[in-house]
A and B are shown apart, each in its own frame.
Chain A
Amino acid sequence: MSAAIVFDRVSAGYRGRAVLGDVNASIISGQVTGLVGPNGAGKTTLLRVALGLLDTTQGDVRVLDRNLREWPRDARARAIAYLPQGADAHWPVEAWKLVALGRMPHRAPFAPLSPEDAIAVDKALARCDAVQFVSRRMDELSAGERARVLLARALATQAPILLVDEPAAHLDPVHQLRLMELLREEAAQGAAVIVTLHDLALASRFCDEIVVLQSGHVVSQGVPDEALSDGVLAAAFGVTVLKASSLAQVRLPIIPWRRL
């Protein structure tokens, strides 16, 4: 178990407005780490810091045992793949071409796609159940279908670290489950996966590790059962939760559980 990303006393913010304060966290390769917290807790900001899109005001980020600042731009792009929240295509390009953009960090300037690139693109599409869309334009696909193609774009990079920001939002239950399985498969193949989630049911079930952020601080980190204790949930989210152990006493909620 090696740490893919280490946040060491990281503080960061926008134009003097501090968003993250003194964040310490380790993201382990081969695991799915869920980043949860209420709106505005700093989840996306933490991902942006990990990507080098936002500088830290204090502290250091180490990526694969090397300070993030020392990474050359293209090497970093090969190491970390990122799917932003609410990602969409600004032009109605063909799905295959869109996924092929994920290969950009592997290509020299003006170099065409290599056969390896084409294989990576096809594999990524297949894994996201999006093979049938290869020659469809993005504007011909539904929001959920576009989300799958965009995830394939991130997977096509074949990076050892995958950052996914709120990917479940636009997906129907079956594709939410498929998405989480997919992230688990990525982790099983050795990738470090960080995923931000609002859905605590998905987070507690599919993540190996949970980091709870509140007002820019890590309030708990660990396996789901420990990190999402009643106390933490009450303090961070202001909610009480229903856990499987207490199900006998209430009417059962419906939680999409397995794909058919």
Chain B
Amino acid sequence: MDGALQQDKDRRFASRIVSRFSHASPITLVLVALAFALAAISFLIGPAHFGPRALFFGLFAPHDAATIVAREIRLPRALLALVVGAALGASGAALQGLFRNPLADPGVTGVTSSAGFGAVVAMYFGFAAVNPLVLPASAIAGALATSTILYFLSRSGAERTALILAGAAIASLATAMTALAMSLAPNPYAISEMVRWMMGSLKDCTLADLALATPPVALGIVLLLASARSLDALTLGEEAAQSLGVDVHAARRRVVVGVALATGAATAAAGAVSFVGLVVPHLLRPFYGYEPARLIWPSALGGAVLVSAADIAVRLIAPDGQLLVGVMTAMIGAPFFIWLILRIRRES
């Protein structure tokens, strides 16, 4: 009996150690370091030939030649890549947790394209000229409309394939509406910029874009982080989560609004960059014990890393700026999506 008790104690001790250590993952530190490194590289890459020194001091100099490039072009682009990636990565992780579906992603489910539609309407029909805040607000409204539809679909018991198919339908509709809006737009440049909105690009973004995007993205991610515990409980299903004292409806609303804020604001700044929220949480999940709560923050970091890397890649591949960052993420993401579907089919 004593032996058994001791064994039990040892086990208890061991399991507590296990749980303590799995809290901090070295992967998180790697992601932070990568995000910093890629942002620095992104800052140094571009058609204007300035050395790292000139660019760095250009940030602080009053009227250096490098100042305009550093402050107005490189810095916003490097930072916006982080912000957009963080928004999409965290949104993907939270949606997947909420719907308990590894295929859920703001792009696949049409949230991004709806945000793009909202942004285009604000931009090319002159509403954004009235007040710059109208642009992100309109994109957020578009994202919110779609995430709310998904919310009601999942509440009425749509299973995971149905949810993704509905999202795909919404995505095509939103893309078509975006094309329609741009064809009808009084702005003569609208058509030529259509691709940029539909695929997403960080080219030519400004400090103002960054300033407009960052607060809603930050607020959105905070809302998603605040839902983390509920997402963990949802691992057991909705009824069990409710029996554990989780207000599932409130958690759903928080995620829906958080995703709309983050994805909407990111899309208003960079267009509809897709598949980031699909790929990143899936790759990181095993490192965080498959726990939805622990995955949100690393997915934000991972998204920042992926979008920064993609944005560096498009500039290295096509220095003339003709390759869009969303093309890059889609070329990685779409095959990944298909592979994921096949894998899920095999498992079930």
Which single residue of chain B is at the shortest CB-CB distance from A96? B15
Q: Are the C-beta atoms of B243 and A126 separated by less than 8 Å?
A: no
Q: Are the C-beta atoms of A93 and B237 separated by less than 8 Å?
A: no
Specify which of A74, A87, A118, A157 is in contact with B237 (CB 8 Å cutoff): A87
In B1-35, which residues have CB < 8 Å from any A CB? Answer: 8, 11-12, 15-16, 18-19, 23
Interface residues of A (CB under 8 A from B): 48, 51, 53, 73-74, 76-78, 80-84, 87-94, 96-98, 100-102, 104-105, 109-110, 112-113, 115, 118-119, 121-122, 126, 131, 134-135, 137, 150, 153, 157
Q: Are the C-beta atoms of B244 and A105 separated by less than 8 Å?
A: yes
**How far is B23's CA from A77's CA once the two chains are assembled, in angstroms?**
25
Which single residue of chain A is at the shortest CB-CB distance from B285? A91
- Does B36 belong to the interface (CB within 8 Å)? no
Q: Are the C-beta atoms of B235 and A90 separated by less than 8 Å?
A: yes
* Contact segment of B134-142, B215-223, B286-294: B286-294
Specify which of B8, B18, B100, B247 is in contact with A126 (CB 8 Å cutoff): B8
What B residues does A112 contact at CB under 8 A? 23
* Contact segment of B55-63, B64-72, B76-84, B226-234: B226-234
- Does B166 belong to the interface (CB within 8 Å)? no
* Most chain A CB neighbours (cut-off 10 Å) among B16, B232, B289, B290: B290
Q: Are the C-beta atoms of B15 and A122 separated by less than 8 Å?
A: yes
In B263-296, which residues have CB < 8 Å from any A CB? Answer: 285, 289-292
**How far is B122's CA from A147's CA once the two chains are assembled, in angstroms?**
53
Specify which of A53, A121, A131 is in contact with B243 (CB 8 Å cutoff): A53
User: In the assembled complex, how far is the CB of residue B292 from the closest CB belonging to chain A, in whole angstroms?
Assistant: 7
Which single residue of chain B is at the shortest CB-CB distance from A48? B239
**How far is B233's CA from A74's CA once the two chains are assembled, in angstroms?**
13
**How far is B100's CA from A110's CA once the two chains are assembled, in angstroms?**
21
Specify which of A73, A90, A110 is in contact with B245 (CB 8 Å cutoff): A73
What A residues does B237 contact at CB under 8 A? 84, 87-88, 90
Specify which of A51, A98, A119 is in contact with B242 (CB 8 Å cutoff): A51
**How far is B16's CA from A119's CA once the two chains are assembled, in angstroms?**
9
User: In the assembled complex, how far is the CB of residue A162 from the closest CB belonging to chain B, in whole angstroms?
Assistant: 11
- Does B145 belong to the interface (CB within 8 Å)? no
Known: A82-B243, A91-B290, A100-B19. 14 other contacts (CB 8 A): A73-B247, A77-B243, A83-B240, A87-B240, A91-B291, A91-B292, A101-B232, A101-B244, A105-B245, A118-B15, A122-B11, A131-B11, A134-B15, A150-B236
What B residues does A90 contact at CB under 8 A? 100, 234-237
How many residues on B have C-beta within 8 angstroms of the other chain's C-beta atoms? Answer: 29
Q: Are the C-beta atoms of A97 and B245 separated by less than 8 Å?
A: no
- Does B246 belong to the interface (CB within 8 Å)? yes
User: In the assembled complex, how far is the CB of residue B140 from the closest CB belonging to chain A, in whole angstroms?
Assistant: 26
What A residues does B232 contact at CB under 8 A? 101, 104
User: In the assembled complex, how far is the CB of residue B21 from the closest CB belonging to chain A, in whole angstroms?
Assistant: 12
**How far is B229's CA from A110's CA once the two chains are assembled, in angstroms?**
8
Q: Are the C-beta atoms of A118 and B229 separated by less than 8 Å?
A: no
What A residues does B15 contact at CB under 8 A? 96, 118, 121-122, 134-135
Q: Are the C-beta atoms of A113 and B11 separated by less than 8 Å?
A: no
Q: Are the C-beta atoms of A113 and B229 separated by less than 8 Å?
A: no
Chain A to chain B: the 10 pairs with minimum beta-carbon distance, closest first: A77-B245, A82-B243, A90-B100, A91-B290, A74-B245, A122-B12, A104-B244, A105-B245, A93-B290, A118-B16
Q: Are the C-beta atoms of A94 and B289 separated by less than 8 Å?
A: yes
What A residues does B290 contact at CB under 8 A? 91-93, 137
User: In the assembled complex, how far is the CB of residue A131 from the closest CB belonging to chain B, in whole angstroms?
Assistant: 6
Q: Are the C-beta atoms of A104 and B235 separated by less than 8 Å?
A: no
Q: Are the C-beta atoms of B19 and A104 separated by less than 8 Å?
A: no
Q: Are the C-beta atoms of A82 and B11 separated by less than 8 Å?
A: no
| 25 contacting pairs across A/B (C-beta < 8 A) | A51-B239, A51-B242, A53-B242, A74-B245, A77-B244, A78-B245, A82-B243, A84-B237, A87-B240, A90-B235, A91-B290, A92-B290, A93-B290, A96-B15, A96-B19, A100-B19, A101-B236, A101-B244, A104-B232, A104-B246, A113-B19, A118-B19, A122-B11, A131-B8, A134-B15
